[in-house]
Structure 1
């Protein structure tokens, strides 16, 4: 404990690394904050949260805060170090300052000693405690969406709309409440980001709720494991993605010229509802070989011309 504590918070300001303009917000930080908010609400204590303008532009920022409105400042999660934390002690010198769920690297550093109390999750010479995120309130699961896009395929020349499609799709996806995974169907043995075998790619796709893609590979490989696909053909007039969707009997397809949020939303909703069953039906059709493919015809050609 450092300094003298004052009883009975009038109003608490919740801060953390998610509050600084040059800071960052991690999922763990925000869940830790949610745990602290839950406890304060349960105790009937008034509080505000200050956010980085780079993360939440419309929220309360330090530039908006009037320090005199608060009796207590609570710093949530992350390491206690550096000039940004030290500045809090100067600006909120009149407040009781408490750090909770934090890591203490240097117990004698000004960032640490400026707090009246430090309820650390880990600190030299003390037993560690659970991270605050561990008991944060649960939230409903969000769809897990694989995103497989290409920047361009030169063989289509002036018909290529790959850049515009990728920009439109990613801008739209940024506004969807989902977990996004950027994926690649290219294989490689010298880059750990890439899968080495098709089985590795398929293992990821099979665990997704949805794939959004402008690639033929993305369309076929996702349907092969029964995962619904929202496909966009990035070539003006339609090319191999459109042809393959037709061959597979897959309806969730948009043309580059018809790309807009309304159409994307419509197929998004379909893929996450009826599309789940439809994707499994396509998968089963693949497995049963209901329609002859090029390999089947190849055998016929070889047999007649061998």
Structure 2
């Protein structure tokens, strides 16, 4: 009987200085699905920079394998040529790859090349397109500020950014960094408030240490985990109170367990409250200071005492 094959799968995601893209991983998932259905044993060699637990190409023993399968990406360069030398005894197959120069050593070293595209051939769909369905992940907008120098020694912005981003990196969620600053020249930023609101409305939740990060999320009906980065509390805390939004973390209580608690709440109970608050904003069911401005404008100049004086401070709710 023929010896049962043992297959090593790798690709650009296996090289130390190679890229690991979502497309590569989905293509790999498609190949693994096909091998499992056929009952074929296989291992995957990963870049140690992406998956330190391995196994990596440097760790595997080529003699343990009968076949080497290179998945996805372009076939070119000395790294692939080295695979041919190191796994010379293996049957070497490339699948779902791009061929630029069919005569190059990187291409010619394979026994079979099942290309997705190559000169003078009809292209086939990329393997990632047919990968097994994936579970949906929550999409979190991340809105952080490193400014606000006006708070002086009370600023804890650097600590908040470090701890919040470290916490986020351990969550199974899709993270989208968002800037509330508008810019008509920078394509990476929204040019209008409507564009930004369209982005926010498509999120599952927001994580922010900015007043407007929280308010604009709620306006879009999206729950926000808000962190006040100012010791003793400042405008984020005040605005959370004004909006009736409970998912607020003072910097003095910032730790992963508290963030986890509010993340879970925002993902469940908080959704309904955020929609309710957002509806109230849109219906103008909450009092703000715009109407009071009109009354203040009608008071004449009596309340203003010039540049060196002090304007009369009207308390909220007055």
Classify the secondary structure of the residue corresponding to 2:103. coil
Match of 2:163 in 1: 168
1:42 equivalent in alignment to 2:37: yes
1:86 pairs, out of 63, 81, 104, with 81
Cα deviation, 1:65-85, whole Å, max 9, x if unaligned, reads 010000000000000001111
CA distance in 1, matches of 2:252, 2:42: 49
Does residue 197 of the first structure (1) align with residue 200 of the second (2)? no
Give the SS at the match of 2:242.
helix
Mapped to 2, the partners of 1:205 and 1:117 lie a distance apart of 47
Task: Answer with 288-297 or 75-84: which moved more.
Answer: 288-297
CA distance in 2, matches of 1:89, 1:104: 16
Q: What are the Cα deviations for residues 197-222 of structure 1, in whole angstroms up to 9, with x where unaligned? A: 10000000000000000001101111
How much is the aligned-residue C-alpha RMSD, in angstroms?
1.1
How far has the Cα of 1:59 moved from its partner? 2.2
Shift of 1:288: 2.4
Could you tell me how far 1:10 is from its partner in structure 2?
A: 1.9
3-state SS in 1 of match to 2:129: helix
- Secondary structure of 1:63's counterpart equals coil
The match for 1:3 is none
1:258 equivalent in alignment to 2:253: yes
Q: Distance in 1 between matches of 2:297 and 2:278?
A: 28
Pairing 1:134–2:132 present: no
1:301 aligns with 296
Alpha-carbon distance in 1 for matches of 2:54, 2:273: 42
| Cα distance in 2 between the residues matched to 1:145 and 1:195 | 17
What pairs up with 1:1-306 in 2 under 5 angstroms? 10-305=5-300
Partners of 1:15 and 1:280 in 2: how far apart? Answer: 46
Relative to the length of structure 1, the TM-score reads 0.96
Q: Structure 1 residue runs of 4+, over 4 Å off? A: none
Structure 1 residue 152: deviation in Å? 2.5
Runs of 5+ in structure 2 lacking a partner? 302-318
Per the alignment, in what secondary structure is the counterpart of residue 118 of structure 1?
strand
SS of the residue aligned with 2:125?
coil
The structure with the largest alpha-carbon Rg is 2
CA distance in 2, matches of 1:159, 1:169: 18
Alpha-carbon distance, 1:9 to partner: 5.1
TM-score under structure 2 length normalisation: 0.92
